[in-house]
Structure 1
Amino acid sequence: MRPAIPSSRPDTVAILSTLVAFDTTSRLPNAPLIAWIEDYLRGLGVSYSLSRGAEDGKLNLHAILGPQTGGGLALSGHVDCVPVDGQAWSSDPFTLREEAGRLHGRGTADMKGFVSATLAAVPDILAMPLARPVHLFITFDEETNCAGARHLIADVATRGVMPDLCVVGEPSMMTPIVAHKGRLALRATFTGRAAHSSTPARGANALHAMGRAIAHIADEADRFAREGRRAEGFDPPHTTTQAGLAQGGMILNIVPEHAMLELEWRPVPGDDALAEFAKLRDTLQPLHDALHAHGPECGIAYDVTCDLPPLDLPPDSHLADIVRQVTGSNATGRVSYGTEAGIYQHAGLPTIVCGPGDIAQAHKPDEFITREQLARCDAFLNAMIRKLCVSP
């Protein structure tokens, strides 16, 4: 049953309670939550556009407040969240629970808190004399491959309503973040030929091939740490790579026919993860050829599962300057995790990360955001819109 739209103007915490109640774990559709937002916006007389991904029930929402044009400011947040499976929660993760000013629930910090603040601000925004529009970007699947943001920004560009500037409200304790690392994730599937382990020459050991690939990836990780481009402000201040998941083999007395490896690069701005992938393929080509000699179906196949570009907004940009003024921050930060901001910047939309909550709470059991952080976000949104979208 869909939660009711409050009859009076809700505050940020009331909306957060509603959004948390929707289980929008990335493996599930987000359509029920988006339908609630549609009802909410329609009740305020706000029109919107939806864009879809490849999976049924996965939707983005783009609303424009004020002039129905491009330009102005976009406020962007995702509504999918990570699973709670296997986590020890003190209460139902999909029921907002308050304790000592902390609001606990899955997605409160990452990042339904920011989305709730933007929705709560809509009535006030509509009452402002807007000379430039305020765009709401609400996306799916940020926690997996950021497909939602790619669909949304392509749709916005096609319709000719690209904003001038964008704030992605990932949890940063309301500190402006001008740069983050990218992420390229890859699945490599090794196919050999099975044989009895007493006669290994009659087979092709996919697990051995994968092991040699893992050893090379470990060497590359050491090389990045030792010789890689330095980008101070990141922790660590260089590109990283790792083999994060490996599977293979069935029983010990059979030469493994199949093996699977998942790996990633997290490049600092200026490094090219796709170029590193190309180098890896070249290095592993002899392993592919050795497997392929046992049959046309044998070898190494690659599948890119996530390609997230870095964010690199100049610290002296107009957007960074405005966000520093509004937040009262004297500095800007850099972080090693990725966000949708890199996708928007890559599409030509200057973007910064600034939102309520602590990234240290993201993905954890008993995830929380504080009332104080939400109040700061409410004030931030009001000030940003008045500075950038209201005529002097």
Structure 2
Amino acid sequence: MSSLPSLLSMMTQLIATPSISCSQKSWDQSNKGVILLLESWLSSQGFQCEIMPLPGQPDKMNLIATIGKGAGGLVLSGHTDTVPYDDGRWQSDPFKLEERDNKLFGLGTCDMKGFFAIVLDTLRDIDLSKLQQPLIILATADEESSMDGARALVDAERPKARYALIGEPTSLTPIHAHKGIMMEKIRITGKAGHSSNPSLGNNALDAMHAVMSELMMYRKGLQDRYRDTNFVIDYPTMNFGCIHGGDNPNRICGRCELEFDIRALPGMNNATLFNEITAILPQIEQQTGTKIELNHLFPDVPSFFTEKESDIIRACERLTQKEATSVAFATEGPFLNQLGMETLVLGPGSIDQAHQPNEFMALDQIAPMQHVIKGLVERYCLTPSTDNEATRV
């Protein structure tokens, strides 16, 4: 079994391999380079590696690396892509790992290429020949945009394990829940005309006013119907993010578009919400004589929830000495739950540094994360039993 590069060397190589995913094609890139790096390192440690191109996207791929056999086991999961970067706002090259002030700077250091380097470095201290249950390293594509990598795994019904940890940056706090998110667009088509005579056209902005009024009442109803004290914002939210309509003050607006998001609580269903909004629109369409269309901007992400009493949540609370909580941002957690795994989100670095210029991971996050990884591998992979005895940690 060949030796791995140092932690800093692995992180340097990962950061130096661009893998931006973005809805804008000018930014979007393949993640193949990162996948091949991980595959080479994991193969050298005895993992059986399978690279899975996404359907219809040969330049995007997932990696499932497995060592050990059994019906239980543990998945350590992360995404290989990053967000775009703000050119000119970084104090250093975003693709060159730089250490200063006890921090590691670079695009993806905390979100979340650094997690893979930490996992691999931790393997040095684990005798992988003694595994009683499988250890699976999962690397996904396009989490920062479409989450198509995670969706492809659900469609393939793989991987299979009993427990999963997603190493998103949570400042080493166990996360057992987050809201879902759906992003939608309403397009209203009226008829343009000269503003001096309203009868010459049909104003799409007027119709949009009626739509937004109905959506505001719908939003208030959601907040009255649903509450979850696990969240700081303990109700579902609807945000009107941007609106575009018309082209000149002296022309009747012929088309108007509204883009908005909804963040649903665990237990709410995104498809139900979409259908309820769809049902609001025909009456307004009839009253205004316009054409109103509702479409998805992106595929929705379900809410994520794992019971606080689940074994992996309790184990990570003990390993971190922190109580599990919830977050506002979305992850691949609900998709791993759909695959039948008890899942939590816990990783090094802070979400406050993610998606920001001068992204960094503090050095003091590394050793505690390795402590968590070792504890979970010991609990779920090195012991013969996969029961929920709390005495093993």
**Is TM > 0.5 for Structure 1 vs Structure 2?**
yes
Cα contact 1:176–1:333 (8 A) shared by 2: yes
Name 2:252's counterpart in structure 1.
255
Q: Displacement, 1:299?
A: 3.1
Compute the displacement of 1:86 (Å).
5.8
Does the Cα contact within 8 Å between 2:186 and 2:292 map onto a contact in 1? no
1:104 maps to 105
Gaps of 5+ in 2: 22-27, 385-393
Aligned to 2:228: 231
Match of 2:62 in 1: 60
Q: Which residue of 1 aligns with 2:210?
A: 212
Query: How far is 1:390 from its partner?
Result: 0.5
Structure 1 residues 258 and 123: alpha-carbon distance in aligned structure 2, compared to 1, 3 A threshold: farther
| Equivalent residue runs for 1:1-392 within 5 Å | 8-26=3-21, 27-53=28-54, 54-67=56-69, 70-85=71-86, 88-125=89-126, 127-157=128-158, 161-225=159-223, 227-289=224-286, 293=289, 298-303=291-296, 305-329=298-322, 331-391=323-383
In 1: Cα distance, 2:127 partner to 2:300 partner: 36
AA aligned opposite 1:322: A
Whole-angstrom distance in 2 between the partners of 1:201 and 1:48: 67
Q: For 2:262, what is the secondary structure of its paired residue?
A: strand
2:138 is matched by which residue type in structure 1? F
- SS for the counterpart of 1:302 is strand
Residue type of the alignment partner of 1:176: P
User: What is the one-letter code of the residue matched to 1:85?
Assistant: D
Give 1:321 deviation, angstroms.
1.6
Deviation at 1:300, TM superposition (A): 1.5
DSSP 3-state at the match of 1:231? coil
Shifted more, 374-383 versus 32-41: the winner is 32-41
Mark the CA change 1:222 to 1:94 in structure 2 (over 3 Å): closer, same or farther: farther
Q: Is the 8 A contact 1:87 1:365 kept in 2?
A: no
| C-alpha distance 218-301 of structure 1, shift in aligned 2 (>3 A) | closer
How far residue 62 of structure 1 moved from its aligned partner, in angstroms, is 0.8
In the alignment, the residues of structure 1 paired with residue 87 and residue 210 of structure 2 have an alpha-carbon distance, to the nearest angstrom, of 32
SS in 2 for 1:305: coil
2:90 and 2:100 map into 1 onto residues whose CA distance is 14
Distance 1:128 1:143 in 2: 35
* Distance in 1 (alpha carbons) for counterparts of 2:192 and 2:211: 20
Which shifted more, 80-89 or 337-346? 80-89
How many percent identity over aligned positions? Answer: 31
Secondary structure of 1:362's aligned partner? coil
Residues 239-260 of structure 1 show CA distances to partners (whole Å, capped at 9, x for unaligned) of: 1111112222233333333332
Structure 1 position 66, deviation (Å): 1.8
Which runs of no fewer than 5 residues in structure 1 stay unpaired?
1-6
The alpha-carbon distance between structure 1 residues 190 and 50, as it changes in their structure 2 partners (threshold 3 A), is: farther
In the TM superposition, what whole-angstrom CA distance separates every residue of 1:326-358 from its partner, at most 9, and x where no partner exists?
2233x2111122111012113322111111111
- Structure 1 CA distance, aligned partners of 2:13 and 2:138? 19
Decide whether the 8 Å contact of 1:144 with 1:306 is kept in 2: no
How far apart, in 2, do the equivalents of 1:188 and 1:65 lie?
A: 48
Q: What is the Cα deviation at residue 201 of structure 1?
A: 2.7
Give CA-to-partner distance per residue, 1:346-371, whole Å, 9 cap, x none: 33221111111111111111111111
Q: 1:231 to 1:72 in 2, by over 3 A?
A: same
8 Å contact from structure 2 (residues 65, 138) kept in 1: yes
- Please report how far the alpha carbon of residue 223 of structure 1 lies from its aligned counterpart in structure 2 after TM superposition: 4.4
Task: Point out the more displaced range, 38-47 or 20-29.
Answer: 38-47
Note the C-alpha offset of 1:87: 6.6
- In the aligned structure 2, how far is the partner of 1:176 from the partner of 1:73? 16
Q: What is the TM-score when the length of structure 2 is the normalising length? A: 0.88
The one-letter code sitting in structure 1 at the alignment partner of 2:250 is N
2:47 maps to amino acid: V
* Counterparts of 1:122 and 1:208, CA distance in 2: 62
Residues 65 and 299 of structure 1, relative CA distance in 2, 3 Å threshold: same
In structure 2, C-alpha distance between the alignment counterparts of 1:279 and 1:156, rounded to whole Å: 30
CA RMSD of aligned residues (A): 2.3
Q: Distance in 1 between matches of 2:57 and 2:199?
A: 44
Cα distance in 2 for residues equivalent to 1:315 and 1:93: 37
User: Do the aligned partners of 1:184 and 1:274 also contact (CA within 8 Å) in 2?
Assistant: no
